[in-house]
Amino acid sequence: KGGVKYIADSRLDNLKKIRMSGYDKELMLLRMPMKSEFEEVVDIADMSLNSELDTIKELSDIAKYRNKLHKIILMIDLGELREGILIKDLKDYVKQILELDGIEFLGIGTNLACFSGVLPTYKNMKELVDLKYELEDFFNIKIPIVSGVNPFIFTSCLPRANIALLIIPLLTNFGILPKASLPNLPLGIEGFSFNSII
């Protein structure tokens, strides 16, 4: 009723509970699947974050066997050194992913402001979006998701007018944090409505 297209969580048990509650829309595993979870991930989650071809191929085999389609967001490293493939390997990875049955290439993403302290900037966010357009042109595909957002994108590191232009759709991952650790978010952006339950 509220227009939610899918729910994402990093805990597979939580996704399982959401599914058992009767929720019938898509669920996303907001991290890389562990090898011991592959079958459950395909059974419970409609999509997941990935950066290992071997993992994606195993998910493909399981999805084919179960006559299902599992969607993936391919993570790219933009300097954080936490997760993701190198840009030089991107086209080769995407080529192989597009050839897999049971797998849908849903988008690309990156993880910043986490392990090494590399913050989102206009430069690295533009680089991520440019990669989306480059892949779309090269493979003649549409990439619906570009994910690179966390609370730091609302701070002064990026011009506020560029937020919507850089990341479409805007995927904001707020963890459960002490109030003092949350940035002072300038959410009064003209033309945007922000509604949240805290």
Residue 15's pLDDT band (cuts 50, 70, 90) = very high
Average pLDDT over residues 57-63: 98
More confident residue, 148 or 156: 148
Three-state SS letters, the chain:
CCCCCEEEECCHHHHHHHHHCCCCCEEEECCCCCHHHHHHHHHHCCEEEECCHHHHHHHHHHHHHCCCCEEEEEEECCCCCCCCECHHHHHHHHHHHHCCCCEEEEEEECCCCCCCCCCCCHHHHHHHHHHHHHHHHHHCCCCCEEECECHHHHCCCCCHHHHHHHCCCCCECCCCCCHHHCCCCCCCCCCCCCCCCC
| One-letter amino acid of 1 | K
Give the per-residue pLDDT at 88. 94
Is the pTM higher than 0.85? no
Asked if the model's pLDDT at residue 114 lies above 70, the reply is: no
pLDDT 10s digits, 70-95: 999 999 988 666 678 999 999 999 99
Domains of the chain: residue spans and CATH: 6-181 (3.20.20.10)
More confident residue, 147 or 91: 91
Average pLDDT over residues 136-158: 75
Percent of the chain's residues with pLDDT above 70: 67
